[in-house]
Chain A
């Protein structure tokens, strides 16, 4: 983590305009109605990927199961980041884990929401002077809601989730847009921990253009650094290596050529 000398300081977070841009406003008079309907539907069917990093994970089973029953709010656990709406970080995030958390976050589809549970995600908690844990989660990805406590009780977890639902319904839960608008800031903080050659398998800048969220703070000194070190993203080669299958296939190929 001495990479810090190679990477310029990201500086203070820039203020960004929150809410719908004037240029992006729709001309359809019913758009607002549909937006509200869509937001209501979104807020009532949330799939949650819980990244159980620390001790806060033990408060989730009671929150999910019959005692407090998260599902009556429309929240269900989901197994893969591609299909999840909420990323729930439950506890301390070590620097090594943070890499995986960022990879997971970038794989999720927008709109996506991050909830930091426990004091550790807020300020490092009881690991505040540990060299190995990241302190502020919102230095590395935008966080919608923090649920403080060591650990928060299931009631507090449910209360936090209700807060998120309310924010989604009223259109205030747009922290995910911040990741695209100020990608340079988040990338800078990531580079300071992981080194200047840190690269994820997601092209965030292209996604920012796709969502029409590309702004003046999306690019900067750190994205320039990324471009210097970037290896081109390539699709993973699909390969099946089952000996029996390979043998059978080569045999059928030979038969084919013989005929």
Chain B
């Protein structure tokens, strides 16, 4: 039964135009699809092929290509296999269509991706702040967000350089940190 369903799914997906299917293992299928065909494919997977469980939507920022890659992970309890549907959308303006009407849990995943990557999902029920309730900076998971610069602007550091460590260092011991890796106040002290 399971094998039959798997074969049937492979045949079905092979028949479709415009998608690229690769079976990465016995229970995992990687599908690449154009962004305008993705809702139709998900509808087919959910409605006709028992993939009723949307485990997650993940997002990858391909900054050099100017694209966001969205990955929809769909699980079937009957075939016991996972289909990862990959699609790419342009990074600007970063707008895509919601799949909330196909998979209800997509609302949470889309809200999360909107918060972390700034992708706007048309038709998603609620795209307000989710986890980062205090945040109103740029979306922090984008590749062009400089986390380290942000941290240096918003937080201070404290140095721990007690006398016993200085004694050790004077005798040639201690913990050697290369100058380019020193990030605390000691670096500024050394420079001045």
- Tell me the A residues contacting B by CB distance below 8 Å: 1-4, 95-96, 99, 122-124, 128-132, 134-136, 138-139, 148, 192-195
Contacts and interface: CB of A to CB of B under 8 A. Distances in A.
Given A1-B135, A136-B158, A192-B154, 7 more contacts: A123-B157, A131-B147, A132-B132, A135-B151, A136-B155, A193-B134, A195-B134
A27 B43 CA distance: 84
Contacts, number: 59
A195 B147 CA distance: 20
A189 B160 CA distance: 21
A4 B152 CA distance: 12
B140 interface: yes
B184 interface: yes
Which are the 8 A-B pairs with shortest beta-carbon distances?
A135-B155, A129-B148, A2-B137, A131-B140, A131-B150, A131-B147, A95-B134, A129-B147
Nearest to B157: A123
B158 A2 contact: no
17 contacts: A1-B135, A2-B137, A3-B136, A96-B131, A124-B155, A129-B148, A131-B140, A134-B155, A135-B155, A135-B156, A135-B157, A136-B158, A138-B158, A139-B155, A139-B156, A193-B134, A194-B134
Contacts of A122: 158, 160
Nearest to A132: B132
B23 interface: no
Nearest to A194: B134
Interface of B: 131-137, 140, 145, 147-148, 150-151, 153-158, 160, 183-184
B161 to A, nearest CB: 13
Contacts of A1: 134-137, 154
Contacts of B183: 128
A99 B145 CA distance: 24
A194 B133 CA distance: 10
A145 to B, nearest CB: 14
A136 B156 contact: yes
Contacts of B150: 131
Most central of A95, A129, A193 by chain B CB within 10 Å: A129
A192 B133 CA distance: 15
A131 to B, nearest CB: 5
B18 to A, nearest CB: 39
Nearest to B145: A131
A13 to B, nearest CB: 10
Contact of A136 (B133, B140, B157): B157
Nearest to B149: A129
A34 B137 CA distance: 54
A1 B160 CA distance: 27
Contact of B184 (A99, A123, A132, A138): A123
A118 to B, nearest CB: 14
B156 A131 contact: no
B157 A129 contact: no
A165 B28 CA distance: 58
B151 A129 contact: yes
Contacts of B155: 124, 134-136, 139
A4 B150 CA distance: 11
Contacts of A99: 134
Contacts of A138: 158
A123 B134 contact: no
Contacts of B136: 1-3
A132 B133 CA distance: 11
A132 B140 contact: yes
Most central of B135, B154, B155 by chain A CB within 10 Å: B155
Contacts of B153: 4
B154 A4 contact: yes
Nearest to A138: B158
Given A128-B183, A130-B147, A132-B140, A96 B133 contact: yes
A139 B140 CA distance: 23
Contacts of A131: 137, 140, 145, 147, 150-151, 154
Contacts of A194: 134
A241 B131 CA distance: 31
A129 B131 CA distance: 19
A131 B147 CA distance: 6
